[in-house]
């Protein structure tokens, strides 16, 4: 809301500065965004009188003028405007002055004649669009004061130099006008508020009977009134009104239309002016639309209407979308001479629905959605009619056409001082509460413990005790209430409960970061194309109905698309290695969920490039399967879960090889593998991209009862022996290890892989296993261990057909 400081002061004698007012309003809940100076750019423009005006000797359109700007010598100014003439009062930008758009006036020579300034048009001053000629100023401002020559233009004519941009929360419909602000400031500071004075002269026959208004739905339109103004001459509004509207961001159109906007900004009451001669039949009907009806609105758009939209109709057809926008056919034009001026209140929710659906947000609908004061209608209508008559030379017909199916009734609200004290935590006096409520316009019936309070018509937001208590808090000063620390309640049940999901996730994040991975956070939505690119199933995807872009139109079913994009971005920045993890929800449709969506927290890790960022101190190598698998194995071990099993999975969408990770009981827990090279290309990856994904909710559940369990340390030393098998290339290491472990014997404690070596061109590989022998009851002798090793080697050779 743009609030002119000058305009406000016409309503309330506020004596501080605009900045002080803004600070005060901020602490009343009406936050000042900034103080605007709409006319700062033309501050150096002065008022001048054209003394002489001659044609330029070498031009057919330029004039050479002398202009008195109050200095000792008149200025010589060359002016190209067709309407410049001696005797005019004009705005002059002298040499050195600035104009909107960063223009600086310089001494110039136009076709040989020197010029010491510029006589300006309204457009050049940023006041309006008019550029047909220079702006000829009235001899006096609207209060009759005559400007002095050389006086600053914006001061001489009282332009609105300071405008407060205030953000209005949806509950404060009462502060959507100059009057509304004046009312609040008056209440808070105890200042008198004065409404503009005017005299309304009514003429001719009483139209209240001859133009009947019918409201067919009283919920939609509780009250509808109108006046008729006849004999209007349309034309531009007076300068003061145009410039004031301009200062608060409203384009001036014509005297009749400008009055409706002026009253809207001043009193907060939206008005609509119909060209009365274009209304058919002498009647107004307010009714809900039916599906399929159409109306061409002021902006020339044909609007398809739906049941529930409010319509204003004449005898034949709809002529306006109630509270949102007028119809094109009955709009005020330059030829209009008779006006039907509408002043009504409509149901906020209905206006909002219509405005939202049609994407039509007008100053009127904005106010109606929030609530317009039904008790202020009569004043606004009369003031607007009087102003129209004054500005257009028209006369106002006697009487008001009206229909008020739901007259405004104050709603009693209970108020207890004790409740206010209990909620705010501060002692209050009856006196303070009463004074506050009454200053806001409430009527208060005091009782002993309980008062009955009725809010005024402009306070739609005061319907409950809590609302009244808020007003008390605001006037008391929300920043001046006490500060206490509450004792936080606990219940016994919460102690010893399993670790929360949040705590578990945080623990895993710390584990991963401590291990050396970098945590990534990606958007939960991706593009359908991203999922398609990775070949992920279409079934079960959760699509966004109104996405911002096609790149964000579906919720991710896996973390892979985001992490691969991160890989791409990092490789584009020449990162030698990327080691990321992300822990976040994956979304799929699920009819059994109350949100229709199943959300599972996954952890994904991606590795690509060199194992270490720095060459120093490391054998340089690219990360491989062992790196990614090691992370998954370590995660399981760290969570005290049994060692998972790893098995090749065929036909994975984007990984090859893909290795299924299963819990010890066979439950699928995740997948690891290498991004298919054909896909990796588009992520700029030249080196293998290793990826792992695990269902973290599953791991959390499985690990909930697991904890570290102490095992007694062995008493007797272990003896180690290695065996190197020469095995076919396609024999998995695990096959050999299992065979080793499977040989019956009393001495073998464990068998691990030591090396795999593939001699060039041999078609076989050498797999070295390290065997650890131990007995719990005695130290082993070398001889018996060697014998056992031979026995195992021979058994494996026999079983698998490998050689040693």
| Residues in region 166-185 near another protein by CB under 8 A | 169-172
Q: Which residue has the tokens 């494996």?
A: 796
The answer to whether residue 164 forms part of the interface with another protein (CB under 8 A) is no
Alpha helical stretches, state H, 371-464: 377-392, 417-424, 430-439
Q: What is the CA radius of gyration of the chain?
A: 41
Q: Does 547 bind another protein (CB under 8 A)?
A: yes
Nearer to another protein, 485 or 712 (CB): 485
* Choice between 353 and 764, CB closer to another protein: 353
Can you tell me which of 43, 200, 328, 423 binds another protein, judged by CB under 8 A?
423
Nearer to another protein, 198 or 612 (CB): 612
Dihedral sign, Cα of residue 236, residue 240, residue 246, residue 249:
negative
Among residues 517, 536, 632, 679, the one that binds another protein under rule CB under 8 A: 517
The residue (of 584 and 672) whose beta carbon lies closer to another protein is 584
Q: 534 or 767, CB closer to another protein? A: 534
8 Å CB contact between 743 and 792: yes
Q: Are 176 and 366 in contact (CB under 8 A)?
A: yes
Angle at 24 (CA atoms; ends 23, 30), nearest 5 degrees: 85
Residue 521 or 647 with smaller CB distance to another protein: 521
Q: Does 731 bind another protein (CB under 8 A)?
A: no
587 binds another protein (CB under 8 A): yes
CA–CA–CA angle 455, 458, 460 (5° rounding): 70
Choices 137-145, 271-279, 576-584, 776-784; region in contact with another protein by CB under 8 A? 576-584
Residues 295-354 binding another protein (CB under 8 A) are 348-349, 352-353
Under rule CB under 8 A, residue 520 binds another protein: yes
Stretch that binds another protein, among 23-31, 251-259, 277-285, 636-644 (CB under 8 A): 23-31
Footprint of another protein on 685-704 (CB under 8 A): none
369 or 788: CB nearest another protein: 369
Nearest distance, CB of residue 618 and another protein, angstroms: 7
Round to whole Å and give the CA distance between 710 and 721: 27
Q: Are 318 and 274 in contact (CB under 8 A)?
A: no
Between residue 548 and residue 567, which ones bind another protein under the rule CB under 8 A?
Answer: 548, 552, 555, 566
- In angstroms, give the least distance from the CB of 173 to another protein: 9
Q: Among 21, 469, 605, 751, which residue sits at the site for another protein (rule: CB under 8 A)?
A: 469
Q: How far is the CB of 371 from another protein (least distance, A)?
A: 9
Query: Quick one: 61 or 414, whose CB is closer to another protein?
Result: 414
Shortest distance (Å) from residue 452 CB to another protein: 18
- The string over 354-377, giving b where at least 16 C-beta atoms fall within 10 Å of a residue's C-beta and e elsewhere, is bbeebebebbbbbbbbbbbbbebb
Closest CA to 267 of 433, 386, 357, 162: 386
**Angle at the Cα of 383 from the Cα atoms of 379 and 389, rounded to 5 degrees:** 150
Q: Determine which residue in the list 502, 707, 711, 778 makes contact with another protein, applying CB under 8 A.
A: 502
Residues binding another protein: what is the number (CB under 8 A)? 95
Among 501, 732, 741, 787, binds another protein (CB under 8 A): 501
The helix (run of H) or strand (run of E) holding residue 19 is helix 18-26
Which residue in 519, 532, 722, 752 binds another protein (CB under 8 A)? 519
Return the number of the residue (599 or 622) whose C-beta is nearest another protein: 599
Among 199, 429, 494, 746, the residue binding another protein under the rule CB under 8 A is 494
> Does 569 contact another protein by CB under 8 A?
yes
State the nearest-atom distance from the C-beta of 612 to another protein, in Å.
6
Q: Which two tokens stand for residue 12?
A: 């309330």
Neighbours of 472 (CB within 10 A): 21
Of 294, 289, 316, 298, nearest to 221 (Cα)? Answer: 289
Nearest residue (CB) to another protein, 543 versus 741: 543
Q: Using DSSP, state whether 479 is helix, strand or coil.
A: helix
**Can you tell me which residue has the tokens 């939206």?**
270
Burial of 183 (0-12, 13-18, 19+ CB in 10 A): buried
Out of 414, 510, 640, 706, the only residue in the binding site for another protein (CB under 8 A) is 510
What mask of x and - would describe binding to another protein in positions 615 to 634, judged by CB under 8 A? -xxx----------------
Least separation in angstroms between CB 77 and another protein: 38
Q: Tokens for 643? A: 């060692």
Residue in this structure with the two tokens 């050779």, named with its chain if needed: 797
Q: Does 489 bind another protein (CB under 8 A)?
A: yes
Rounded least distance, CB 447 to another protein, Å? 18
Site map 195..234 versus another protein, x via CB under 8 A: ----------------------------------------
Residue from the set 411, 466, 664, 668 that interacts with another protein by CB under 8 A: 466
527 touches another protein by CB under 8 A: no
CA distances from 587 to 211, 597, 610, 671, 725 (A): 61, 6, 33, 17, 47
* CA-based nearest residue to 581, from 641, 632, 509: 509
Contacts 24+ apart (CB under 8 A), 71-74: 71/150
Length of the chain: 804
Give, rounded to a whole angstrom, the gap between the first and last alpha carbons of the chain: 88
Phi–psi pair at 637, nearest 5 degrees? -65, -40
Give Cα 551 distance to the centre of its chain: 19
Does 74 bind another protein (CB under 8 A)? Our answer is no
To another protein, the closest distance from the beta carbon of 679 in angstroms equals: 19
Q: Cα–Cα distance between 86 and 664 in angstroms, integer?
A: 101
**Residue 237 is a binding residue for another protein (CB under 8 A):** no
**Residue numbers 368-397 binding another protein by CB under 8 A:** 369-370
- In the block, which residue shows the tokens 């031979």? 790
Beta carbons of 609 and 576 less than 8 angstroms apart = yes
> Exposed, middle or buried by CB within 10 Å (0-12, 13-18, 19+), for 50?
buried
- Residue 367 as a binder of another protein (CB under 8 A): the answer is no
Question: Which two three-digit tokens encode residue 602?
Answer: 């996954």
| Stretch near another protein under the rule CB under 8 A, chosen from 143-151, 277-285, 590-598, 666-674 | 590-598
Which residue among 2, 24, 28, 110 contacts another protein (CB under 8 A)?
A: 28
Nearer to another protein, 425 or 657 (CB): 425
Per CB under 8 A, 545 contacts another protein = yes
Asked if 588 and 598 touch (Cβ cutoff 8 Å), the reply is yes
Least distance CB 391 / another protein (angstroms) = 33
Work out which of 307, 411, 521, 715 binds another protein, going by CB under 8 A. 521
Beta carbon nearer to another protein, 202 or 599: 599
Q: Which of 265, 339, 580, 663 binds another protein (CB under 8 A)?
A: 580
Integer Cα distance of 256 and 390 in angstroms: 10
The dihedrals phi and psi of 163, each to the nearest 5 degrees, come to -130, 125
């Amino acid at each position: 809301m743009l609030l002119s400081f000058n305009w406000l002061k016409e309503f309330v004698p506020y004596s501080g500065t605009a900045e002080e007012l803004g600070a005060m309003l901020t602490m009343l809940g009406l936050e000042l965004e900034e103080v605007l100076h709409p006319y700062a750019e033309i501050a150096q423009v002065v008022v001048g009188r054209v003394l002489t005006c001659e044609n330029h000797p070498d031009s057919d359109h330029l004039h050479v003028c002398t202009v008195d700007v109050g200095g000792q010598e008149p200025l010589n100014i060359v002016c190209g405007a067709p309407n410049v003439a001696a005797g005019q009062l004009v705005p002059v930008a002298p040499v050195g002055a600035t104009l909107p758009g960063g223009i600086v006036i310089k001494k110039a020579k136009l076709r040989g004649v020197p010029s010491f300034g510029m006589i300006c048009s309204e457009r050049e001053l940023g006041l309006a669009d008019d550029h047909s000629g220079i702006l000829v100023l009235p001899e006096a401002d609207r209060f009759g004061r005559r400007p002095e020559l050389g006086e600053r233009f914006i001061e001489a004519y009282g332009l609105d130099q300071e405008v407060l941009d205030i953000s209005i929360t949806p509950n404060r419909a009462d502060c959507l006008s100059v009057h509304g602000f004046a009312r609040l400031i008056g209440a808070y500071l105890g200042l008198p508020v004065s409404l503009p004075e005017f005299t309304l002269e009514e003429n001719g026959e009483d139209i209240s009977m001859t133009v009947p208004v019918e409201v067919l739905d009283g919920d939609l339109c509780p009250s509808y009134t109108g006046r008729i103004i006849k004999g209007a001459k349309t034309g531009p509004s007076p300068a003061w009104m145009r410039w004031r509207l301009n200062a608060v961001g409203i384009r001036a159109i014509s005297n009749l239309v400008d009055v409706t906007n002026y009253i809207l900004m001043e009193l907060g009451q939206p008005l609509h002016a119909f060209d009365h001669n274009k209304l058919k039949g002498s009647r107004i009907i307010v009714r809900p639309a039916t599906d399929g009806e159409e109306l061409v609105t002021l902006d020339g758009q044909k609007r398809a209407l739906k049941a529930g939209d409010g319509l204003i109709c004449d005898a034949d057809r709809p002529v306006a979308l109630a509270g949102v926008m007028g119809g094109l056919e009955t709009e005020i034009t330059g030829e209009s001479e008779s006006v039907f001026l509408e002043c009504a209140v409509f149901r906020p929710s209905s206006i909002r629905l219509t405005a939202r659906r049609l994407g039509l947000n007008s100053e009127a609908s904005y106010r109606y959605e929030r609530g317009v004061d039904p008790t202020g209608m009569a004043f606004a209508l009369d003031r607007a009619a009087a102003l129209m008559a004054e500005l257009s030379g028209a006369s106002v017909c006697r009487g008001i056409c009206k229909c008020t199916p739901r007259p405004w009734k104050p709603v009693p609200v209970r108020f207890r001082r004790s409740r206010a004290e209990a909620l705010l935590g501060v002692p209050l006096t009856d006196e303070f509460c009463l004074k506050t409520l009454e200053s806001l316009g409430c009527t208060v019936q005091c009782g002993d413990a309980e008062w009955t309070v009725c809010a005024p018509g402009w306070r739609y937001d005061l319907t409950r005790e809590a609302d009244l208590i808020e007003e008390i808090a605001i006037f008391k000063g929300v920043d001046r209430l006490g500060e206490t620390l509450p004792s936080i309640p606990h219940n016994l049940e919460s102690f010893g409960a399993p670790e929360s999901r949040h705590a578990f996730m945080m623990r895993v994040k710390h584990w991963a970061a401590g291990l050396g991975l970098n945590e990534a956070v990606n958007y939960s939505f991706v593009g359908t194309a991203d999922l398609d690119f990775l070949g992920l199933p279409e079934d079960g995807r959760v699509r966004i109905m109104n996405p911002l872009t096609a790149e964000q139109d579906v919720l991710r079913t896996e973390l892979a698309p985001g992490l691969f994009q991160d890989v791409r971005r990092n490789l584009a920045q020449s990162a030698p290695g990327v080691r990321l993890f992300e822990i976040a929800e994956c979304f799929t449709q699920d009819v059994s969920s109350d949100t229709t969506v199943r959300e599972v927290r996954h952890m994904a890790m991606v590795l690509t490039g060199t194992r270490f960022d720095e060459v120093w101190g490391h054998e340089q190598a690219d990360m491989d399967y062992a790196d990614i698998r090691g992370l998954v194995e370590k995660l399981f071990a760290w969570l005290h879960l049994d060692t998972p099993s790893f098995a090749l999975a065929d036909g994975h969408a984007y990984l090859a090889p893909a290795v299924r990770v299963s819990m010890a009981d066979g439950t699928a827990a995740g997948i690891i593998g290498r991004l298919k090279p054909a896909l990796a290309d588009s992520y700029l990856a030249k080196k293998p991209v290793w990826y792992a994904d695990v269902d973290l909710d599953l791991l959390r559940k499985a690990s909930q009862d697991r904890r570290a369990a102490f095992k007694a340390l062995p008493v007797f030393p272990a003896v180690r022996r290695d065996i190197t098998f020469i095995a076919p290339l396609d024999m998995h290491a695990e096959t050999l290890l299992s065979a080793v472990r499977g040989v019956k014997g009393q001495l073998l404690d464990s068998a691990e892989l030591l090396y795999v070596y593939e001699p060039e061109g041999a078609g076989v590989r050498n797999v070295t296993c390290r065997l650890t022998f131990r007995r719990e009851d005695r130290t082993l002798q070398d001889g018996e261990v060697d014998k056992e090793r031979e026995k195992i080697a021979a058994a494996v050779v026999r079983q698998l057909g490998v050689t040693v």
